[in-house]
Amino acid sequence: MNENMDYITAGRKQAEQTLRYLTVIAERAMEGIVVFDLSGALRFVNAAWATMHGYEAGHELIGKQISIFHTKEQMKTDVIPFMEETKRRGQLAGPMEHVRRDGTPLPTDMLMVVFKDEAGKAMGLIGFATDLTEHERTKDELKRYRNRLEELVKQQTVELTAANEQLQNQIAEHERAEQHLKQQTAELTAANEQLQNQIAEHERAEQRLKRQTAELTATNEQLQNQITERERAEEHLKQQTAELTAANEQLQYEITERKQAEECLKQQTDQLKTANEQLRHEVLEHERAEQLLKQQTEKLKAATERLKDQINELSTRGRIGEVGVCSTMGSLENDRKAVLEKIFKENIRLQKPELDDAIVNENTL
């Protein structure tokens, strides 16, 4: 787990360092670079973009709308359609007219790219602008030179036509005009070479921009890979946490089941102890009943012996009447019944106490 955390921390630091490198590269780029979200709010402006639009630093523009660099008419007819087409295609390049801070026009060559999040959802747009002011100025100068050349050619043609009659004099004039034309041609050639150099410089700038774009793309892919690795590590950590939580819940469940089983066992043990105690009490009661029965039997035997002795004694004294014998036997029988009844009730009380209560109630009635 510590290794995963160290890996995640290292990936985060590397991503932050890569972001700083990208920021430094963008700040030092010669082309103007701007980043804004889908609502048009500026999120990043490099120094070149701020300078070409007449601002001192890019940070003072953060949070403002992209419309500060365009007129309302430009936003309606050029910028918004350009942005919508970029969202549809993913990127778009072409000329676009801007406005500087002082209100002067700023011709640019724009490249606009959509940047997306990890899920592929569009988050905003990145704009790359090349200032075409010098290029347009050169085109204007070349146009003026061409117009001037055409005027000179027309003028010289008129002069040559008029000087047809004075050929000798006009030859010298023609030579001077030709010399002047050569000079102008040389100037035009130099201007054309300068324009070609500027075009070549522009192409080199575009090449550098492409290389920087490729580097930014590679760096972005590396950053995406690092973020993916970090997400995998976090997912693995979450999975381990879920497994530990499930194991802990299972352990809690087993502990609860064990406690319930122990409680049930304890209750059963208490019940067994109670039953054992009750059984022992019943055994003691039964032993006492047997002892009582034995004592009553002994008493009965003793009473019988005494009765026999009395009968024998009466027999020796004289004849006993039938009534006396019956009375004596009846008394003996009553004593015997009383003892047996007492023994029976004691057994009932020991074995089935509820029946004993019923018998007592019946005797009471």
Structure tokens at 215: 């580097």
Q: Lowest-pLDDT range, 16-20, 218-222, 231-235? A: 16-20
Distances (CA, A) of 363 to 29, 226, 273, 345, 348: 122, 100, 36, 12, 14
Nearest Cα residue to 106 out of 97, 115, 116: 97
pLDDT digit string, tens, across residues 74-104: 999 999 999 999 999 999 999 999 999 999 9
Tell me what pLDDT residue 111 has.
94
- Judge whether 98 and 82 are in contact, CB under 8 Å: no
Distance in angstroms (rounded) separating the CA atoms of residues 129 and 31: 6
Does the pLDDT of residue 329 top 70, yes or no? Answer: no
pLDDT digit string, tens, across residues 97-148: 999 999 999 999 999 999 888 888 999 999 999 988 888 787 777 788 787 8
Mean pLDDT of the chain: 80
Tell me what pLDDT residue 45 has.
92
Tell me what pLDDT residue 268 has.
87
Does the pLDDT of residue 359 top 80, yes or no? Answer: no
Task: Assign residue 110 a region (left: φ > 0; alpha: ψ between -120 and 50; beta: otherwise).
Answer: beta
Distance in angstroms (rounded) separating the CA atoms of residues 113 and 87: 8
Nearest Cα residue to 101 out of 64, 133, 53: 53
Helix (H, G, I), strand (E, B) or coil at 34: strand
DSSP tag of 69: G
- The CATH number that domain 31-131 falls under is 3.30.450.20
Tell me what pLDDT residue 139 has.
79
Distance in angstroms (rounded) separating the CA atoms of residues 274 and 9: 66
pLDDT digit string, tens, across residues 17-63: 444 545 545 555 578 999 999 999 999 999 899 999 999 888 889 99
220: amino acid identity, one letter: N
Nearest Cα residue to 83 out of 73, 74, 92: 92
Tell me what pLDDT residue 145 has.
77
Tell me what pLDDT residue 5 has.
55
Does the pLDDT of residue 305 top 90, yes or no? Answer: no
359: amino acid identity, one letter: I
